[in-house]
Each structure stands twice: as structure tokens, then as C-alpha cells.
Amino acid sequence: MKNFIRTAASAVFLLGTLAVRAEPAPTPQQQQDAHKLTETAVQILDFGQFLGSGKELPPWYELQPWQEKMKMTDEQFQCFKTKMTTSQGFREYKAEEALDYVQSRSPQDLQRDFALLTPQTVQALSRLMSAFTQEDRSPGLSLQEVEKLQQDPPLFNAVDRFMRGEQHHDLRQLLLSLTFDSSPIENSAHSFQRYAFWSLKACHIPVE
């Protein structure tokens, strides 16, 4: 895989974002909010299920090169693959990220997040993400979904605010595996790397 790990510094940065921090114990409300955000992320796009679907995927989603580069044993690679290609693995990953997110936000911030994430908005985002993942096989599908969405102006505006608003950048990074904050390839590759480094950590695989 081209530019598999661009620099040691980027690896350190990614691991740093996943490192266990000395956070106070979460409150019951924070646990509830984190669970809700986790389930929202899975509903929008179950990235683990997507990676394990058996469909032909872009080369930057390939797992085998990670075994070779990280010198994993077969047992380690099986653990890594299970974390990366199952709904359960993805849910565990997002649960950790969601708790970090909730603990870094004020109750007022979270209230605004949940006000935006109505069931209708989440369903629309799920349809869009599904269309984007099928674009290679069904060209124009994502455009069709956008056109359908435009027929409901309030819903379209809510989705547009979420997808483009600077104030929602961190929420997008949490909930979407395809964020489009820069180029689609760069975003999807970065999201994949974050997930992969979490999986390495979860499987106790050292990063040299």
C-alpha cells in the first residue's frame, strides 16, 4: 500500500489520540450520551461491517499489508482482523471515542449536538453514507440521494449544517467514517488508519 505509514510522527500522533488519558470517571449521564453517540455512528455507517462485507474495496482498506508491516503473528492478525471487520469491533472502537468526546464537551454542547441529530437527520445521513460506499458500483447513486434530500428543505438544511458547519467538525469526525472535510481519499484513509491503530492497541500489538 502506497504510503502505508507516511512517517513515524504520524503514527505517534494517531496513537496519541487513542492513548488512555487520566479522565475522571464518567457520570451516568455521560455514559448514556456516549452510548447514544456510539449507536448513532453505527447506524450511520457500520464501518466494521463494511470492511468485512467481502466486497471489492479500495486498496487503502486492505488489511494484509498491516500484518506484513507490523510483523503480526497469525494469532495477532486474527485479533486485528476481528476488530476491523465486525460490527462488534467497530462498536467497541466508537464507544471509546464517544466517551472521550462526551467528556471533552459541556452539557450545553452535547445538547446542541443531540438537537441536530434527530432520527430523520440520522436516517438521511445513513442513506447518504450507504450511497457513497456504493458509488463505484452504482455511479450517480449518491447524487440521487442528495436530490431526494433536497425535496425536504428543512431536512436538507440540517444535513448540510452537520456536513459543512465548522462547529460540527469534531462531531463529524466522531460519527462519520467518510467525512469529506478534505479530499475523499485522504479522509477515508485517515479514518481507516485511526480505526487500525485502535485495533492494534486493543490487540496488544506493538507499533515499532
Contact 38, 175 (CB under 8 A): no
Write the CB contacts of 65 (distance below 8 Å, at least 6 apart in sequence).
Answer: 1, 4
Question: Quick check: is 85 in a domain?
Answer: yes
User: Residue 152: phi, psi to the nearest 5?
Assistant: -125, 85
pLDDT in tens, 1-46: 444 434 333 444 444 444 445 568 999 999 999 999 999 999 999 9
Question: Quick check: is 192 in a domain?
Answer: yes
What is the residue range of 171's domain? 26-51+61-202
Question: Quick check: is 148 in a domain?
Answer: yes
Q: Taking the CA atoms of the chain, what radius of gyration do you get in angstroms?
A: 17
User: Looking at per-residue confidence, does 181 or 88 come out higher?
Assistant: 88
pLDDT in tens, 136-148: 788 899 999 999 9
Question: Quick check: is 171 in a domain?
Answer: yes
Cell 447518504 maps to which residue?
Answer: 128
Question: Quick check: is 174 in a domain?
Answer: yes
Q: Which of 13-27, 70-84, 146-160 has the lowest mean pLDDT?
A: 13-27
Which whole number is the average pLDDT over 55-61? 83
What is residue 136's DSSP assignment?
T
Question: Quick check: is 8 in a domain?
Answer: no
Enter the C-alpha cell of residue 174.
466522531
Annotate 75-126 with DSSP letters as a single string: HHHHHHHHHHSSHHHHHHHHHHHHHHHHHTS-HHHHHHHHHH--HHHHHHHH
Q: Which band of pLDDT confidence, cut at 50, 70 and 90, is reported for residue 117?
A: very high
Which whole number is the average pLDDT over 139-164? 95
Question: Quick check: is 46 in a domain?
Answer: yes
Angle at 81 (CA atoms; ends 33, 54), nearest 5 degrees: 95
Question: Quick check: is 188 in a domain?
Answer: yes
Q: Which band of pLDDT confidence, cut at 50, 70 and 90, is reported for residue 55?
A: confident
| Percent of the chain at pLDDT exceeding 70 | 84
| Number of structural domains found in the chain | 1
Contact 128, 142 (CB under 8 A): yes
Query: In the Cβ-directed half-sphere of 77, how many Cα atoms lie within 13 Å?
Result: 13
